[in-house]
Amino acid sequence: MSKQINVALIGNPNTGKTSVFNSLTGLNQKVGNYPGITVEKKEGICKLPRGVKAHIIDLPGTYSLNASSLDENVVIELLLNKNDKDFPDVAVVVSDVENLKRNLLLFTQIKDLEIPTILVINMSDRMKYKGISLDIPYLEEQLKTKIALVSTRKNQGIDNLKELIFNYKDLSTTPCLNASEIDKDYFDNLQKAFPNQLLYKLWLVITQDVNFGKTDRNEIDAVADFKTKTKADLKRLQQKETIKRYQFINNTLKKGQTIDLSTAKDLRIRLDRILTHKVWGYAIFLVILFTIFQAIYDWSAVPMDFIDSTFASLSEWTKDSLPAGTFTNLLSEGIIPGLGGIVIFIPQIAFLFLFISILEESGYMSRVVFLMDRGMRRFGLSGKSVVPLISGTACAIPAIMATRNIESWKERLITILVTPFTTCSARLPVYLIIISLVIPEGRFLGLGYQALTLMLLYLIGFGAALVSAMILNKILKIKSKSFFVVEMPNYKLPLMKNVALTVVEKTKSFVFGAGKIILAISIVLWFLASYGPGEQFNNAEEIVTEKFASQNLTQEELDNEIASQKLEYSFIGLTGRAIEPAIRPLGYDWKIGIAIVSSFAAREVFVGTLATIYSVGSDEEETIKNRMAGEVNPILGGPLFNFASGISLLLFYAFAMQCMSTLAIVKRETNSWKWPILQLVLMSGFAYVVALITYQILI
C-alpha cells in the first residue's frame, strides 16, 4: 500500500461535510485556491493505521454531477481527470441521515465513475430523535459499498471511517444501477465509438462544460459512426437519468430505511415561522447584531489592554536592553509598534468570527438569507447576493469569490462591485481605535455608545452597498434572468470543535496575511521617518537647541522637540506635508495622511502606520491609543482626534476602496481592469466628499 492515499470528500451542502473533514484532519489542514480558479480549496492530512497518511481534499458542495456553477465544475473535473495529482484513490460521500434520499443521487453518480466509494451517513445521533432506523447490511448490499455511521457531535464512527479508508482497495467499484438503459441504442453506439473509455465519463463530457483526458465533445461529435443529439434531447435524457436513479433509491430505501413519524419531534416549523417572519424576523436579527457588537466591546476590553501595554513595554525594553544603534531603533520604533498595531485587535476579530461561525453552524444564517431576499430584488440583487454581502463582513476577497454561485451575470457583476462597501474585518481595527478616541463610554438602554456606533457603521456599509446596487441596476444595460433557491438546513447546536477551528483558521489567516504587509510597510515607514534630506533634518539637534535656548526645558522635553523636528523634516514628513493641503479640509494632519495613503495597500495598515510614526524618537512608555489621544490640532488647537475629525475618518474608511488584493480579485472575476479601476476611483472619490462634508458640518 502507498504511504499516502488521496481522499475526496464529496457531498451536498449542509450534510456536515466540513464537520467530517475537521474530525479527520483536526488542525492539519490548510486553505488555498484551485490552480487557475478562485474557488476555495480545503485540504488536510489524516493519520490512518500502520503509519499510512490520507491526503483529504474537501470539495465544494454539490447536489449532483450535473453542474450548474463554476465551483461544482471543480468536483466533476477532478473526478474525471486521472492525471490530476489530487485524483482520489477513494471518494467519501457524506450524507445527512434526515435527507438520505436526496443525498444518494450524487452517490449513485459517483459509483458510475467506478471510483472506490464510501458512504458516510452523518448526524446518526439524531436517528432516535427523528424516529429513523436503517438496515445497514441491506443498504451496503444494494448500494455495493461500505457505510460508516458517523456522529461528529459525539465523535462516533470516525475511527471506523478511517479503517474503511485504509482498506479502500477492498471496496467494490461496481455501479449501483445501469443508467444507460434510458437509451440503450445511444449508449451502445457511444461505447462502440470509444471502446477504451468509461461510458459514464463520456456521458458527463457530452452533457457538462468539462473535459477529461484528450477527449472532448468536439471529438465525440466528429466520430463518423456516432450520431450526436441536440441539446434539448440531451436535457431530456438527463431528466430520464435522474428519474431512473431516484426509482432505484426509492426502492432501496423502502426496505433499508424506516421512519416512525410518531416519534419524530420537530420544532423547525414553529421556529421558522418566527425567525423568517416579515416583522419579527428582522427585529430578532437586529437584536442579535446589537448583542454581537456589544459583546465584541465588552469581552475583548481586558485582553486588548493587556496586549497594548505589553507591546509598549516590549518596545521600551528593547530600546533599553539592546545596544544603541540602527537595528535596535528599527525593532523598537518600527517592527514592534507596527505589529502591535495589528495584534491588539486579535481578540475582537476572533470574537467576530466566533459569532459568525455560530450563526452559520446553527442554521440561522440560511434563514437570514431567505429573510433578506424579500427586499433584495428591488435593488437589482439576487437572494444569493446576501451570502457574499454577509460573508464580506469577514473579508471581501472570499465574498467576491462566492458570487460564482449567482447564475445571472448582471446580478453577479453588481454584487462584485458593491460587496467592498460591507464592513470587513480589515476595517475593524480602524473603527475600534477611532471610536475609542472620539465616542464616550456611556450607555443607552444598556447598550454602549461605542458598540452602537460600530453597529451603525456596519449598517451604513450595508446600506451603501444596496443603494449602489440599485443605481448600477438602472445604469448597466445587461439583460438576464435568474431564480433564487436556498436550502433551509435543520437547526442544530453548533459543534464547538468546528467553531473553534473556524475561529483559529480565520483569525490566523487575517493576522498572518495582514502581518506580512504591516511588517514590510513598518520597515519602510521607519526608514522614511528616521532619515531625511537637508540641514533641517541633519542639524535638528543644533537648530532645536538654539530655538529653545531661552526656555528652560528639561532634557526629556528637549529630546522630544528634537525628535519632532526630525520627524517633520524626514522623508515621510516631507511627503506628508506635500499631501496635507488635500486632506486638511477633512480635519487630518500629515501623519494621518501618510496612514491613509499606506492603507490603500490594506486598510488595517492604518493603525500600524500611526503606531510606527508616533513611536519614532519617542522614549515614553505609552500605548498607541494614548499617543493618538495626545495629538494636538496645529491650527485649531485641542485634540487632533476630536468628534468631527473622528467621524470624518470613520466615514472615509466606510466608503473608500482600500485593498489592492480585492481589486486584483475583482479584475480576475470580471476579466477586465475597467471594473476595479472604476471601484477604486468612484468609491474613494465618494469617501473623500462624504468625509469633507461631514467634517465641515461637525467642526
Instruction: List strands edge to edge, sheet with 146-149.
Output: 29-33, 40-47, 53-58, 4-11, 90-96, 117-122, 146-149
Q: Which three cell numbers stand for residue 439?
A: 465616542
The amino acid at 528: L
Q: Which fold has domain 4-170?
A: Rossmann fold (3.40.50)
Per-residue confidence at 484, pLDDT binned at 50, 70, 90? low
Point out the least confidently predicted range of 165-169, 263-267, 498-502: 263-267
**pLDDT for res 695:** 92
Is the pTM higher than 0.85? The answer reads no
Identify the residue with better confidence: 517 or 180: 180
For the chain, what percent of residues have pLDDT higher than 90?
A: 18
Residue range 298-319: average pLDDT? 82
Q: Which of 103-117, 231-245, 340-354, 361-375 has the highest mean pLDDT?
A: 103-117
Strands 90-96 and 117-122: parallel
Residue 664 clears pLDDT 80, i.e. is over it? no
Per-residue confidence at 162, pLDDT binned at 50, 70, 90? very high
What does the DSSP assignment read for 433-481? HHHHHHS---EETTEEHHHHHHHHHHHHHHHHHHHHHHHHHHH------
Half-sphere CA count of 589, side-chain side, radius 13 A: 19
Annotated binding-site positions for GTP: 11-18, 36-40, 58-61, 122-125
d(CA 594, CA 613) in angstroms, rounded, equals 9
Cα dihedral sign, 31-34-39-43: negative
d(CA 464, CA 689) in angstroms, rounded, equals 14
**pLDDT for res 537:** 83
Per-residue confidence at 623, pLDDT binned at 50, 70, 90? low
CA 688 to chain centre: 28
The amino acid at 388: P
Residues 6 or more apart from 463 whose CB is under 8 A from it? none
Query: pLDDT tens, 34-51?
Result: 444 445 678 889 998 888
Per-residue confidence at 630, pLDDT binned at 50, 70, 90? confident
d(CA 14, CA 195) in angstroms, rounded, equals 39
Annotated binding-site positions for Mg(2+): 22-23, 25-26
**pLDDT for res 76:** 86
Query: pLDDT tens, 555-585?
Result: 777 877 777 788 778 888 888 888 889 988 9
Point out the least confidently predicted range of 24-38, 77-91, 181-195: 24-38
**pLDDT for res 341:** 65
What does the domain layout of the chain look like in residue ranges? Answer: 4-170, 280-427+453-475
Tallying the residues shown for the chain, one arrives at 699
Give the H/E segment covering residue 304.
Answer: helix 280-321
Annotated binding-site positions: 11-18, 22-23, 25-26, 36-40, 58-61, 122-125
Q: Distances in Å between the alpha carbon of 400 and those of 20, 41, 427, 486, 487?
A: 26, 15, 17, 19, 21
